[in-house]
Amino acid sequence: MLGPHAPYTCPPESLQEVITLAKEKLIPIHTHLAETKEEGKKIKEIYNQTPTQYLYENGLFEQTHVLLAHGVHLTLNDISYLKGMNGGVAHNPISNLKLGCGISPIMELINEKITVALGTDGAGSATTLDMFEEIKTAAWLQKLRFEDPTTLQAFDVLEMATRHGATLLNIDENVGTLEVGKKADIILVQLNKPHLQPVHSILSLLAYSANGADVDTTIINGKVVMKNRKLLTIDEEELLFEITSRSKRIVEDI
């Protein structure tokens, strides 16, 4: 996947180089779009366009597959440029909140049949990288936006975190759902906890009450990599020691 960073860091000539390579090699493209208001102001001043129009006019949306991160400040007119695009938008609600970017218009995107998946963004802005927290935050933000508790229900937001994520990464032939012939990427959630009882709706429970610490077992392509909360492929104690040691050295060198 090719990654031109964002409209405000990629002039037209750089975008054209990436697009040409993507066409030649049939490689998907990932870029940031409309994350902040400042981005919109900068592109407007330079090109007299919105960031979305800028990418559209440069032919980015004509590619075989495009993953757009954020889309916080997309207008309805911007969204019209995305219709029919092969790809979609990665919504990163916790990062957008922490950085004060705003709330993405994901319901408007969904209404236009544009694929929306959930992401975390980087550890610097999403802190825990907990997909369960992203799930509930995404749902709650849209309920708040529309002042309607039925907006973005449990099934839909869980689908954004699973099936749609695989679609957006262009790997949905292999992962994203539990089907015969696909890779067995599975998590087992321990429900025998006070905050997960009683169980009336498993979908609502997973979407609104569970968190990453509730995952008991993780299976990747049929291989168990965590069981009973114990990592089987990594020495966690040694890793934490190494992280602490290196982080201290990095801080000292700054």
Task: Count helices and strands (H / E) in the chain.
Answer: 12, 8
State the architecture of 1-178 in CATH terms: Alpha-Beta Barrel (3.20)
Residue 75 three-state SS: coil
Detail the DSSP E strand segments found in the chain.
Answer: 29-33, 66-70, 87-91, 115-118, 186-189, 215-220, 223-227, 230-231
DSSP type of residue 237: H
pLDDT band for 182, please (50, 70, 90 cuts): very high
For every residue of 147-215, DSSP letters joined together read T-TTSS-HHHHHHHHTHHHHHHTT-TTTSSS--TTS---EEEE---SGGG-S-S-HHHHHHHT--GGGE
Average pLDDT over residues 114-123: 96
pLDDT for position 133: 98
What is each CA distance from 201 to 140, 205, 207, in whole angstroms? 17, 6, 10
Measured CA distances, 53 to 7, 84, 227 (Å): 10, 15, 48
- What are the tokens at 94? 């916790």
- Report the distance separating Cα 124 and Cα 108, nearest Å: 28
pLDDT band for position 121 (cuts 50, 70, 90): very high
Q: Which pLDDT score is estimated for 124?
A: 86
Report domain extents, the chain. 1-178, 184-254
pLDDT, residue 254, reads: 82
Question: How large a percentage of the chain has pLDDT more than 70?
Answer: 100
Q: Where does the pLDDT of residue 32 fall: very low under 50, low under 70, confident under 90, or very high at 90 and above? A: very high
Q: What's the pTM value of the predicted model, to 2 decimals?
A: 0.93
CATH class, 184-254 region: mainly beta
Q: In 10 A of CB 166, how many CB atoms?
A: 18
93-103 average pLDDT score: 97
Give the chain's mean pLDDT: 96
Residue 13's pLDDT band (cuts 50, 70, 90): very high
